[in-house]
Amino acid sequence: MALVRYLAFRVVNALVILFFVLLITAVMMNQYLEDQIRAEIRERIAQEVYRNPRYATYTPEEKDRLAANLTLRYEQIYGLDQPYVVRVLYRTVDAMMFDFGNALVLKSSTGSPVVSDIIIEAIPRTVLLFTTGTIITIVVGILLGIKAATRVGSFLDRAISTFAMFTYSLPMWWVGMIFIFYFAILLKIFPSGGMVSIPPPEDPVAYAMDVLYHLTLPLIVFVFVNFGGWSYATRSIVLNVLTEDFVNTARAKGVPERRILYGHVLRTASPPIVTSTTLAILGSIGGAIITEAVFNWPGLGRLFYQAILNGDMPVVIGLTYISTFLYVFAILALDFIYALLDPRIKVGFGGGR
Amino acid sequence: MYGMGIKDVVREFLRFRGGIVGIFLLLIIVGMALGAPLISDEEAGNRWYDLEYWVEKDLPKGVPPAWVGVFEGRSYSVTERFPGQIPETNRFILRTNITYNMKYDVPPSDVVIRVRIAEEANISATTTYFVRLNVYRPDGTVIERVLDLETVNRDLKISLKSEDRSRNAIISFMKDFDEEGYERIINQGLTEVIDVIYILFSQTGEGALLERTEPLKGIYTFELEIIRTDINLELDSLELLAMGAAHGVFGTDTNGRDIFVGIVWGARVALILGLIVAIVSVLIGVLYGTVSAYLGGWVDEILQRIQEFAISIPLLPLLLILAFYFKPTIWNLILLLIVFSWPGPVKTIRSMALQIREQLYITAAKAVGASTGRIVLRYIFPQILPYTFALVAFAVPGAILTEAGVSFLLGAQGVLEITWGRILSDAQDASAVLTGMWWWVLPPGFMIAISGLAFVLIGTALDRVLNPRLLR
């Protein structure tokens, strides 16, 4: 029962966080969004009244009156006649239900202006690049980290630590620019950007190969920049566990070193690694704005960049929601995993007392 | 290691080679930031975004650093100015010859002709004059009418590289020697993009238009004619500028800006922003975590919910949205970064403070009646402080990286100061990567990486020296 209460509490907590992040986004973008809608209404009324041959015989006063009436009606349709608080709350609640409305400028590849369509189309592309990259990074990073931890002070160990420190402060998108310059411009072995050739190949197999060809360079950049940090973190965690008393006990008992490592140490070291892995994989779905912009990769990150450039606020709200949602969902998922695995976790106020 | 004196810390710190390297790198960047007016031109730094100022400076545009020639074993031409003799005559045609000794392996990047009309010349505003230019090359060939234009401007500055007339004249001169290349240029629509100045200074023959034949060294004579329509029009000066093919420490961008100036001045924003954001946000986060842990109960619960909310906000998207409302000066950006960075260390600090809270001396302090503020600030905070230094050092690269990212994405809408991210943004806008201008892309990113690395190295060394046992 306590477990159910705990989990219910975490779910409510997650929803509240989501609501507030969306509310803040909606408040911040409200002015801009409504200015855009008002401009659109003005443009439409100019079309329908002032430039409409049907009303050519009307006097200017009559036209103005007609326009004023129409403006009121459009403002009702868009909910602009409601008080500010109501407008913002409506927008937030709609977004919570994944209803982001229509985009102002951007369109999906099928021409749909519905924000959800535009976003759903971009998700698999980002997943293809960043989630694949994250998984490769994690596997390579953890394996190297374990190797380094078992050989402290070796060349491999020191190389990984140095490399991790160097890549910690390396902007991934800049590495992308450098790799594009070297591999795409100088050596000409990879394309300089995009996800498929233009025009895309018709044959599905050729299409897949073409995507793979475009995918390789950004994937290499992603793994190059990130695996060092993973190795270093894994190394530190494993090393910490290796100094615990139970490891000494196991060694004293004569348990083979391999079994100590894989049976005892890794089991103890896994919770923090599981945490980072979950966060990283779910976080990867949000993409990386600048890296996608540099590689011209048509995923969520580049979509966000284009939405900002075009001032397309409904798309911005939608994307902000998606990335917050993923983060909060990841935290929630971790709560669930730990609650199931660790009986000590209890719910209630005064935690940590 | 609680209770170490500053001297012990310094001595311990110096035992780590990484820490020393970090200090060394940091000193270089601090030196750049402080010495910017000394090692580079102060006015150039203040007027980085004033493109007209850079036009006046007459630097070659988009050329590599001066030292590349040493590595390539080729000599790059340098920028040279040749004043033309103004003939004393009362004829309408003023003719002067300017000789240029092209002795380099890499010819100039551009040739600029500059005509200045005397201030006191008693002429009407609409008086025109003609400028004509013939070039006599060392191999005996002549390119006629490289320039032939009429102007009403008092002063004139013509770049042979960008002027249509000169481009076409040079291409049609070489057409007779390379008909095949000429056809390809026409078919592929390359007339606007090929490097005509290279062709002007290269040997005639097949492939001269597209494949780049060897440069033709020797004396070039530029025969310049000014044909005036009013005899009162007097010339103040005539000048020919051979723009170098390489310039300075880091070359120039396509606006003719010296990239070295940008790199040096960019260190200021990176350091100031990185340090302020890291120090303030870590301090807030540490105090917040400590207070939250010490007070416990429902206050702790509420503070933790607020922290979870704050850390869930996607930073970069939000900064981009906010850029719509605030012209992001560096101080605005610093403020925003602090607002969104403080939740980072809270959870770790809170768990440390929870352990300290249970220690006997805290209970004793409480028993004596010490106030909450006193206990938090005087008894718990000092225990956590050493770890804070490492946290600050680790937070700096994140702040610098975020600033670079924001500046890169916002470009001209971004901060008004020179930042490395903005230089990279300009490079990206000018397709520097695709056109091979590596000197524009490498240094800024390298500086971002180096300044981050300096703090990571210092942080790691500090961490090993100061890390209190309770974190192990």
Identity at A48, one-letter amino acid code: E
Span B130-187, pLDDT tens digits:
999 999 999 989 998 889 888 887 788 899 998 888 999 999 898 888 888 888 888 8
- The CATH number corresponding to B6-49+259-470 among 1.10.3720.10, 3.90.1150.10, 1.10.10.10, 2.60.34.10 equals 1.10.3720.10
Q: Which of these, B37, B452, B446, B34, lies nearest to B261 by C-alpha position?
A: B37
Stretch A283-302: mean pLDDT, rounded?
88
Span A63-108, pLDDT tens digits:
888 888 888 888 888 778 888 888 888 888 888 888 888 888 888 8
Residues of chain A with Cβ-Cβ distance to B400 below 8 Å are 169
Report the chain B residue with the minimal C-alpha distance to residue A350.
Answer: B297
Q: Which of B321, B434, B452 sits opposite A185 (nearest CB)?
A: B434
pLDDT at position A100 is 83
- C-beta neighbour count of B438 within 10 angstroms: 21
The Cα A165–Cα B32 span in angstroms is 23
- The answer to whether residue B419 scores a pLDDT higher than 60 is yes
CB A106 within 8 A of CB A307: yes
* 3 state SS of B113: strand
pLDDT at position B206 is 84
CA distance A158 to chain B (A): 11
Average pLDDT in chain B: 88
Report the chain A residue with the minimal C-alpha distance to residue B411.
Answer: A309
Instruction: For chain A, give the percent of residues with pLDDT over 90.
Output: 26
pLDDT at position A179 is 94
- The answer to whether residue A347 scores a pLDDT higher than 60 is no
Q: Which of B313, B317, B448 sits opposite A174 (nearest CB)?
A: B448
Interface test with B, best of A10, A34, A165 (most B CBs within 10 A): A165
Span A201-211, pLDDT tens digits:
888 999 999 99
Instruction: For chain B, give the percent of residues with pLDDT over 70.
Output: 98
Residue B99 gets which letter from DSSP? E
Span B452-464, pLDDT tens digits:
999 999 988 888 8
Tell me whether residues A17 and B317 touch, CB distance under 8 A.
no
Span B61-84, pLDDT tens digits:
999 999 999 998 899 999 999 998
SS (H, E, C) A318-329: HHHHHHHHHHHH
Report the chain B residue with the minimal C-alpha distance to residue A166.
Answer: B453
CA distance B75 to chain A (A): 22
Residue B176 gets which letter from DSSP? T
CB B401 within 8 A of CB A171: yes
Q: Which two tokens stand for residue B446?
A: 């390298």
Tell me whether residues A165 and B457 touch, CB distance under 8 A.
yes
For B60, phi and psi rounded to 5 degrees? Answer: -65, 150
pLDDT at position B278 is 95
Identity at A74, one-letter amino acid code: Y
- The answer to whether residue A46 scores a pLDDT higher than 60 is yes
Over the range B366-394, which residues count as b (16 or more CB within 10 Å of their CB) and which as e?
eeeeeeeeebbeebbbebbebbbbbbbbb
pLDDT at position B1 is 42
Q: Which residues pair with B159 in a beta bridge?
A: B112
Give kind and range of the element (H or E) at residue B58. Answer: none
- Unique residue bearing structure tokens 């890390």: B467
Q: What is the pTM of this model?
A: 0.87
pLDDT at position B60 is 93
Residues of chain A with Cβ-Cβ distance to B320 below 8 Å are 289, 304, 308
pLDDT at position A1 is 66
Tell me whether residues A171 and B405 touch, CB distance under 8 A.
yes
Stretch A278-289: mean pLDDT, rounded?
81
pLDDT at position B185 is 87
Q: In which region does residue B59 sit, left (phi positive, over 0), alpha (psi from -120 to 50) or beta (all else)? A: beta
The Cα B113–Cα B131 span in angstroms is 10
Q: Which two tokens stand for residue B205?
A: 């023959």
- The answer to whether residue A344 scores a pLDDT higher than 60 is no
Q: Which of these, B176, B162, B320, lies nearest to B243 by C-alpha position?
A: B162
pLDDT at position B471 is 40
* 3 state SS of A55: helix
Banded pLDDT at B344 (limits 50, 70, 90): confident
Average pLDDT in chain A: 85
The Cα B58–Cα B79 span in angstroms is 9
pLDDT at position B220 is 94
Scanning chain A, the segments in alpha helix (DSSP H) are 2-45, 60-77, 84-96, 115-126, 132-150, 155-168, 172-179, 204-242, 245-253, 257-259, 266-284, 289-295, 300-310, 313-341
* 3 state SS of B132: strand
Q: Determine which of A331-335, B279-283, B341-345, B375-379 has the lowest per-residue pLDDT on average.
A: A331-335
pLDDT at position A139 is 94
- Unique residue bearing structure tokens 């990286």: B401
CA distance B197 to chain A (A): 23
Q: Which of these, B330, B195, B346, lies nearest to B270 by C-alpha position?
A: B330
Measured torsion, CA atoms of residues B165, B168, B173, B178, in degrees rounded to the nearest 10: 170
Identity at B271, one-letter amino acid code: L
- C-beta neighbour count of A285 within 10 angstroms: 21
pLDDT at position A342 is 63
Q: Which of A311, A316, A324 sits opposite B312 (nearest CB)?
A: A324
- The answer to whether residue A351 scores a pLDDT higher than 50 is no
pLDDT at position A298 is 92
Identity at B339, one-letter amino acid code: V
The Cα A109–Cα A298 span in angstroms is 11
* 3 state SS of B458: helix
Q: Determine which of A237-241, B267-271, B288-292 has the lowest per-residue pLDDT on average.
A: A237-241
Q: Between residues A340 and A321, which one has the greater pLDDT?
A: A321
Give kind and range of the element (H or E) at residue A191. Answer: none
Banded pLDDT at B4 (limits 50, 70, 90): low
Q: Which of B312, B320, B453 sits opposite A17 (nearest CB)?
A: B312
Stretch B88-115: mean pLDDT, rounded?
90
Tell me whether residues A352 and B293 touch, CB distance under 8 A.
yes
Q: Which two tokens stand for residue A327?
A: 């983060």
Q: Which two tokens stand for residue B54?
A: 């850079």
The Cα B367–Cα B297 span in angstroms is 20
For B409, phi and psi rounded to 5 degrees? Answer: -75, -40
Stretch A167-193: mean pLDDT, rounded?
91
Span B8-51, pLDDT tens digits:
778 878 888 888 999 999 999 999 999 988 888 888 888 999 99
CA distance A184 to chain B (A): 9
Q: Between residues B278 and B296, which one has the greater pLDDT?
A: B278
Stretch B243-259: mean pLDDT, rounded?
93
- Unique residue bearing structure tokens 């490492």: B390
- The answer to whether residue A295 scores a pLDDT higher than 90 is yes
- C-beta neighbour count of B47 within 10 angstroms: 17
Residue A198 gets which letter from DSSP? S
pLDDT at position B415 is 82
- The answer to whether residue B469 scores a pLDDT higher than 50 is no
* 3 state SS of B115: strand
Tell me whether residues A20 and B309 touch, CB distance under 8 A.
yes
Kindly give the pairing relationship between strand B93-102 and strand B218-228: antiparallel
Q: Which of these, B272, B269, B277, B273, lies nearest to B345 by C-alpha position?
A: B277
Span B221-233, pLDDT tens digits:
999 998 888 888 8
Stretch B201-218: mean pLDDT, rounded?
87
Residues of chain B with Cβ-Cβ distance to A180 below 8 Å are 433-434
pLDDT at position B5 is 66
- Unique residue bearing structure tokens 């994405």: B409
pLDDT at position B135 is 93
Residue B202 gets which letter from DSSP? B
pLDDT at position B3 is 53
Tell me whether residues A29 and B321 touch, CB distance under 8 A.
yes
CB A260 within 8 A of CB A250: yes
- Unique residue bearing structure tokens 């097949």: B206
